A and B are shown apart, each in its own frame.
Chain A
Amino acid sequence: MHIVPASSSSPRPPERAALAVAAANAAQALSEMSGRVIGARFTRLTHVPVAQLALVGGDPEQQIVGVYLGVEGDNTSHVLLGLSEATAFRLADLLLGGAGARNELDAMAVSALAEIGNVVGTCFLNVLADGARLTLAPTLPVVLREMRGAILDSLGFGLVDLEEASLTVVETSFTCDGEAIDVAVFLLGSSTLSELVSLASSRKRA
């Protein structure tokens, strides 16, 4: 399967320090919610051609549980928390006290996952908003099961003039008790999102 090549990608270059802080905050929040040791595995910022957006994150046909938040305020962007189904069941069980036998997303599980998406997404938006001194407010979370590529495909339009070369994509994944877990945070935006990251990072260093 194709993986989108990153035209620029680096774990934690100084101009993207804000992303590392946001990822760490999100991991901390997930730890507190789940009672497990969760850490940020990697955070990277890439510029992805619009036509290849559906390929971000791996197999575009993989069915994921997505938690989507729109962003309102001074910048138009999208936040998507992408979970494998197994991870979604596991996180729902962790929050709801299940015994690990969950194999469907009932209303309670959907609510729990929405809250996880809300908390994680807000961690990223808060860091960027504080650093860039802008208002970035998440919309109510929406939980859906769909092909990852189809969700990203639907989010991409409207963010950027299609004649422009690329979208800015921030990807983060996490570890749980030291092992990688299939959770990815995608922050999608136009080139101004990249500028926000740099601005927030420079203010964090100042």
Chain B
Amino acid sequence: MARAGVIVAYSLGSCVAVCLSDPANAVAGMAHVVLPSAADAAGVRTPGRYANTAIPALVTAIREAGGCSSQLQCRIAGGASVLKIGGEGQMPQIGKRNVEAVKDALERAGLWILAESTGGSRGRTVRIDVATGRVRVHTVAGDEEDL
């Protein structure tokens, strides 16, 4: 969460970056979601790592920083299957499950996704410019896109 500068999540594989911004108030934040859910949400010390705890925590942090939750823009990126191993086992599915869990948590929070770059087999680096809310995604193939 920040009020200036650029927030970066380097080289996301199966993880998902959830970018929330309120450009009108120049507030933005990013959650780096590692897993879909925490088994014991009440006992979690690192809520930003799980989809079901990260989104509520991020919305609260943005509100406390002066952002308006009713005008938040949401963009997400990540959730790739970088390592195509293990058939239909846990590893190739975790990116997909992370994306699904993030979308579910966003819906529960009343947020809709403005843009996304998810799935596939490529890792991504995600940057959000706090002042403008602009989100840029870079892949190892050299692709760059604005969400």
Given contacts A61-B138, A142-B85, A146-B123, contact A162 B14 (CB under 8 A): no
Is B34 part of the contact surface with A, judged by Cβ < 8 Å? yes
**A39 near B: Cβ within 8 Å?**
no
Residue numbers in A under 8 Å from B122 (CB-CB): 146, 150
CA distance A63 to B82 in the complex (A): 13
A61 to B126, CA, bound (A): 11
Chain B interface category by residue count: 20 to 34
Contact A55 to B35, CB < 8 A, known contacts A61-B125, A142-B84, A163-B45:
no
Q: Which residues of A contact B (CB under 8 A)?
A: 50-51, 54-55, 60-61, 63, 68, 70, 139, 142, 144-158, 162-163
Using A61-B125, A151-B13, A157-B94 as known contacts, say yes or no to A68 and B83 having CB atoms under 8 A apart: yes
For window 110-134 of chain B, which residues contact chain A by CB distance below 8 Å?
Answer: 122-125
A149-B123, A157-B35 are known; give 8 further A-B pairs, CB within 8 A.
A50-B34, A61-B125, A147-B125, A149-B11, A150-B124, A151-B82, A153-B82, A162-B46
Q: Which of A147, A152, A155, A163 has the most CB of B within 10 A?
A: A147
Contact B85 A150 (CB under 8 A): no
A157 to B37, CA, bound (A): 12
Question: Are A154 and B140 neighbours in the complex by a CB distance under 8 Å?
Answer: no
Is B106 on the interface with A (CB-CB < 8 A)?
no
Cβ of B49 within 8 Å of any chain A Cβ, yes or no, is: yes
User: Chain B: which residue is nearest A141 at the CB level?
Assistant: B85
B51 within 8 A of A: no
